[in-house]
Amino acid sequence: MPERTVEAFLAHLAVERGSSANTLRAYTNDLDRYVAYLHDRGLDDLAAVRETDVGGFVAALRSGPTPLAASSAARALAAVRGLHRFAAREGVVPVDVAKAVTPPAQPGRLPHTLTVDQVEQLLAGCVGDGPAALRDRALLEILYSTGARISEAVGIDLDDLDPGDRTVLVRGKGGKQRIVPVGRPALAAVDAYLVRARPAFAAKGTGTAALLLNARGARLSRQSAWHTLRGAADAAGLDPTAISPHTLRHCFATHLLAGGADVRVVQELLGHASVTTTQIYTHVTVDALREVYATSHPRARG
């Protein structure tokens, strides 16, 4: 019976993979739907399922009286593929019939960006001379000046910043590192934070190399940084629901390209290239990145 394999698979996710409660709940719902689909077609044994059956399940999700969005169908397929991969590895079925089934095409979505004036308005939303305000201003300036992801920005350590060279070392996905130029307004905001705010935060902690600290003296979390961004948008009179963790990253790239930057340099700055693409960019030196940044980014100078 498929139900037994589903139970074993969910237990595997919970115990061995450490999947979150939300992930397990979503997988349970999707696999319950899949098992019901199989039973309706008289398929009471996973070994009897064929690739066309899995494809038919995805097609069924996208049709009918209440069709699922492509993203929801893709999530359900991910659960089904995980189940079949697990069943094949455990010897429940001879082959993984779901591995070649592809998810439905996702509709293209352009990232939401702000104009340069709106970014200035957002940055102006961090007002005040208190430690939290100075830190928040430094955070937003870093996000826009470097195009870093929020997780990358809060991961910056004190030694990663080189004010003299006007660069910062950013640790991206998969442990990949990149050096990104930093504009003078961002460096000024960071300097104000380091002199007038960070010591007060650090005094409450046990010592950390993190650049951005919370009220307890520990590294600022991604969630807190995200709330800071939303709060600044609200204070600036912008729609906070239109602001995402990647908003300033998208603005960084868009404004650089609008200023005439080469798309390859922008991808290098973002650390957004595949392995193959990265090889194309190896000739771009830090000096070249800094030069293009200085002539293209609206806040590179100040």
Task: Give the active site residues.
Answer: 149, 173, 246, 249, 272, 281
Q: Phi, psi at residue 140, to the nearest 5°?
A: -65, -40
> Helix, strand, or coil here: 218?
coil
β-strands 161-162, 177-181 pairing: unpaired
Q: Take residue 252 and report the two structure tokens written for it.
A: 């960084």
| Sequence-ordered list of residues with C-beta below 8 angstroms from that of 237, at least 6 positions apart, any chain | 121
- Annotate 11-24 with DSSP letters as a single string: HHHHHTS---HHHH
Q: Which of 70, 135, 69, 125 is nearest to 247 (CA)?
A: 125
Residue 179 sits at φ, ψ, to 5 deg, of -105, 125
Nearest alpha carbon to residue 67 among 76, 119, 90: 76
- Work out the widest C-alpha separation in the chain, in whole angstroms: 71
Judging by beta carbons within 10 Å of its beta carbon (0-12, 13-18, 19+), is residue 1 exposed, middle or buried?
exposed
d(CA 160, CA 284): 20
Tokens 């591995």, residue? 99
Instruction: Tell me the C-alpha distance between 192 and 142, whole Å.
Output: 13
Query: Burial code of 227-250, b = ≥16 C-beta within 10 A, e = fewer?
Result: ebbbebbebbebeeeebebbbbbb
